Amino acid sequence: MHVSAIIAAGGRGSRFGAGLPKQLLALGGRPVLQHSVEAFVRSDVIHDVVVALPPEVLASPPSYLTSEARPVQLVEGGERRQDSVAHAFARVAARADVIVVHDAARPLVTADLIRRTVDAAVRFGAAIAALPARDTVKRGDAAGIVRDTLPRDEIFLAQTPQAFRTAVLQAALSLGTAAGEATDEAMLAERAGHQVHLVEGDPRNLKITTPEDLAMAESLLGGAAAALRIGNGYDLHRLAAGRPLVLGGVTIPFDKGLQGHSDADAVCHAVTDAVLGAARAGDIGRHFPDTDPMWKDANSLDLLRRAADVVRAAGYSVVNVDVVVIAQRPKLAPYLDAMEANLAAALRSTADRVSIKGKTNEGVDSIGAGESIAVHAVALLARSSR
Ligand code: MG
């Protein structure tokens, strides 16, 4: 049994009012279309996927459509929805036993709903996901007057996926080339004389039609939290005579300084690791190994700036950074503002997003004895929508 999926993403979303077609708007940091395509690529009942795209998107397709583990074919969408589906159908018809059609604007479709719809199409020839009406359904007229109350138990709200044996979809689509605009493939299958079975849909499988729908989908996905990542960094250096004490890029008058290959700025090192860790981009030792003479006596603010470039290239921006410097001496309070400003500049952020606190170690252990300074840092990153 070969099952192919067609994702209809050819529309330009004129109802939404945004600059981008609605299927390309960001949801949880990724385009709506990417969510929809991935649901089918990851489904273990689907063998291949064809996506019908607007011509301007097809001309330079985004990487998530060209680098999937399973084959994703791209075709140009048509004027009407059924034309887009017909273009995609031409690519899959030869080997598919069952074809499932899905609207790209329903990004929250689940593997379970895909499977149940496909199973029903295998049994019955045609099946659609649909929700039973829960509200009382009225028929009204253009003047806003209720004309009729419809029997609710006979009303179902059609969703996608909609799945068909190949011959059934072929009959439906050949009717569609002549027919007027159909809002779904099932409507054409019905007109072609086929029985279409109802599969219990999913209320979360909503269609992104308005900005409010997008906000609702965002909250169903776990809200903004889905696009946030936290990272943790730690560093400790010994204090030694004859070295400058550099913390957060500020040279602090003191009779000792931190030992190390670079300027030994433990504040920059801990923040660098926190930022890299949040993006799962390795650590300071991997990017700037102390075996490499290039980083001998390096300015650690410069390393932090490079790390910030790494995470930015990976699609993240810094939300905020919080740092604790544990030093028995000297007193750091007079230097904290300058350190925060330096870190903010290196992160290409602003000082209101960087916090540094100093504390002592109550005389305990090597830090308390004035032999070392330790730094803890956390960084929160947000995935920028791309
Ligand atoms: Mg270090």
pLDDT over 90 (residue 50): yes
Most confident of 174-178, 220-224, 313-317: 313-317
Q: Do domains 3-211 and 228-383 have the same CATH topology?
A: no
Beta-bridge mates of residue 300: none
The whole model's pTM is what? Answer: 0.59
Given 3.40.630.10, 3.90.550.10, 3.40.640.10, 3.40.50.150, which CATH number is that of 3-211? 3.90.550.10
Distance (Å) from CA 307 to ligand 1 centroid: 14
Question: Is residue 99 pLDDT above 60, yes or no?
Answer: yes
Boundaries of every domain in the chain: 3-211, 228-383
What confidence category does residue 63 fall into, taking pLDDT thresholds of 50, 70 and 90? confident
pLDDT digit string, tens, across residues 366-386: 999 999 999 999 999 987 643
State residue 340's pLDDT score.
Answer: 97
CA separation for the pair 49, 37 (Å, rounded): 8
- String of DSSP letters for 193-207: T---EEEE--TT---
Q: Phi-psi category of 311—alpha, beta or left, where left has phi over 0 and alpha has psi -120 to 50?
A: alpha
DSSP labels for 290-348?
TTSGGGTT--HHHHHHHHHHHHHHTTEEEEEEEEEEE-SSS--GGGHHHHHHHHHHHTT
Extract the tokens encoding 47.
């063998």
Section 240-259 average pLDDT: 96
Ligand 1 centroid–CA 279 distance in Å is 19
**Confidence band, pLDDT 50/70/90 cuts, at residue 205:** very high
CA of 35 to the centre of ligand 1 (A): 40
Distance separating alpha carbons of residues 164 and 365, to the nearest angstrom: 72
Which position has the higher pLDDT, 276 or 215?
A: 276
Calculate how far, in angstroms, residue 376's C-alpha sits from the geometric centre of ligand 1. 11
Q: How far is the CA of 303 from the centre of ligand 1 (A)?
A: 11
Query: What percent of the chain is modeled with pLDDT above 90?
Result: 69
Res 349 pLDDT > 90? no
Distance in Å, CA 326 to ligand 1 centroid: 14
Assigned token pair, 386: 């791309």
- Classify 159 as helix, strand or coil: strand
14 confidence band (pLDDT: 50, 70, 90)? low
Start-to-end CA distance of the chain, whole Å, equals 37
Q: How remote is the CA of residue 343 from the centroid of ligand 1, in Å?
A: 16
Considering the segment(s) 228-383 as one domain, its CATH architecture is: 2-Layer Sandwich (3.30)
Q: Decide if pLDDT at 17 tops 70.
A: no
| CA 228 to ligand 1 centroid distance, Å | 26
| Residue 127, strand partner residues | 163, 197
95 CA to centre of ligand 1 in angstroms: 59
The rounded Å distance from CA 203 to ligand 1 centre is 52
Over residues 69-88, the mean pLDDT reads: 87
Query: How many angstroms separate the alpha carbon of residue 300 from the centre of ligand 1?
Result: 9
Q: Which of 42-51, 160-169, 180-189, 307-316 has the lowest mean pLDDT?
A: 180-189
Mean pLDDT of the chain: 90
